Amino acid sequence: MLYAAGDLATCIAEVFQGPRLVDRFAADRFLAGFRLTRSVRLLDLTGDWPARAGASQALASGPRPRAQVWARTIYEAYSKVEGIWYPSSMHGGSPALVLFERAETALPSTPDLDMPLSHPGLLADLVRAAGSLGYLIS
């Protein structure tokens, strides 16, 4: 699974929600940006699908184990779906997505952007994104 969002603040909100500290110097923290090479089939959880399926928007804001069970169920029930489009509970409902391995062929061979968070060129944007969320930054 690949978790993604269309803007930096949503990525920061989702990834660092636990500690609320953006650790720029952790060895495994990178920002990658890419364009899909083809359209992917996503299940849209931003509308009324959760209610029709017997759930609610709590899928995106409730406990992670519950959301993971739903994601596995969706994966098994909808063999053509390549991912889930959902409202970020950590960034005001901004769009976020999960891509299943079924979407792997839509990923480019190399990203357009691939930088460690410690890269000086990212600092101003990271400070702005973290500040907008009330997160600290190291």
Q: How far apart are CA 111 and CA 3, in angstroms?
A: 15
Domain that holds residue 27: 2-137
Indicate the number of domains in the chain. Answer: 1
State pLDDT tens for residues 93-125: 888 999 999 999 999 999 999 999 999 999 999
Q: Look at residue 35 in the predicted model and tell me its pLDDT.
A: 96
State pLDDT tens for residues 8-17: 999 999 999 9
State pLDDT tens for residues 68-100: 888 888 899 899 999 999 888 888 888 899 999
pTM comes to: 0.83
**Comparing 12-26, 54-68, 122-136, which segment has the lowest mean pLDDT?**
54-68
Q: Look at residue 60 in the predicted model and tell me its pLDDT.
A: 65
Contact 39, 45 (CB under 8 A): no
